Amino acid sequence: MASKKSRMQEGVVVFLDALGVKGIWARAEPESIINSWEDVLKRLNESIRKSPRTGNVGDRAECLDYNIAAFSDTVIITLKCLDDPAAHVPLVAKIVSDAFFFALVKGIYFRGAIAIGKFYQSNTLVIGPAIDEAAEWYTQPEWMGVSTAPSASFGLSRLEDQKADISKWFVKYDIPSKNGLQKDEWALAWPKNAPKDTINAEKNLTTRGLILDTFANRPVSVAAAQKYKNTLAFFDFVCTQENNNKK
């Protein structure tokens, strides 16, 4: 019989893949990439430290257990909760949003997926259906961005149906993927949490300009070029939508 400690728990899982890291050594100084990677992991850990340690589902309070692990060019973030993982997806979205743009301008381009469900995690192992689902879906989109695997997609749609406001963290979008567009799916609205004003006075760069400047700093392969264009298209979509909502 499995012990209590080895039973699967419910929660939220995020897989983040740093695109292009495997071949980046030929295009950038290794020390610079290592320092950027460590800075991004530090930023993610800081976001986790600032996240609430208790939550409420209905009238029930619970302790929240966050964890982050990095393997090669992949980051796995988990949040264990006692009930209703979908209700806690925005907490994880905030953690990822806080670090996504920071990573982008440092040349660490994340592509990822969010799933909810059961998983088991120890100091050396993380397994379970939510892990498998996130691992299957996070390599599908053709961009730098974070989308939801089906479990989290249905969970967010249920929250929306219950009149919860998730618009600060997610937008519906036709996500470009290896098998064509994923129509009207949930995507992390990271552009909403990027700096809005001119953020580089010396170069007079807007947020979009800083992204363009970052993309221009390293060679882009033919195979990867469309991912850059898709990322900019999403940035423009979210910013336009946000500006229209303010009118």
Looking at residue 233, which CATH number applies to its domain? 3.30.70.1230
Segment 201-207 mean pLDDT = 77
Would you say residue 33 lies in a domain? Answer: yes
How high does pLDDT run on average in the chain?
88
Q: Regarding predicted confidence, which is higher, 196 or 205?
A: 205
Name which of 33, 25, 122 is nearest 78 in CA terms: 122
Share of the chain above pLDDT 70, in %: 87
Would you say residue 61 lies in a domain? Answer: yes
Judged against a pLDDT cut of 90, whether residue 245 lies above it is answered with no
Would you say residue 167 lies in a domain? Answer: yes
Would you say residue 2 lies in a domain? Answer: no
Would you say residue 48 lies in a domain? Answer: yes
Judged against a pLDDT cut of 50, whether residue 150 lies above it is answered with yes
CB 69, CB 14: distance < 8 Å: no
Q: Regarding predicted confidence, which is higher, 195 or 1?
A: 195
Positions of E strands within the chain: 9-19, 54-57, 60-63, 65-71, 74-81, 109-121, 126-127, 145-148, 170-177, 180-188
CB 10, CB 80: distance < 8 Å: yes
Task: Show the domain range for 35.
Answer: 9-246
Judged against a pLDDT cut of 90, whether residue 57 lies above it is answered with no
Judged against a pLDDT cut of 60, whether residue 68 lies above it is answered with yes
Would you say residue 229 lies in a domain? Answer: yes
Q: Regarding predicted confidence, which is higher, 103 or 5?
A: 103
Residue 23: how many other CB atoms lie within 10 Å: 9
Report the range out of 10-24, 153-167, 214-228 with the highest average pLDDT. Answer: 153-167
Total number of domains in the chain: 1
Label residue 3 by pLDDT band (50, 70, 90). very low
Would you say residue 182 lies in a domain? Answer: yes
Share of the chain above pLDDT 90, in %: 66
Please give the helix or strand (H or E) that residue 134 lies within, else none: helix 129-137
Would you say residue 1 lies in a domain? Answer: no
Q: Regarding predicted confidence, which is higher, 143 or 2?
A: 143
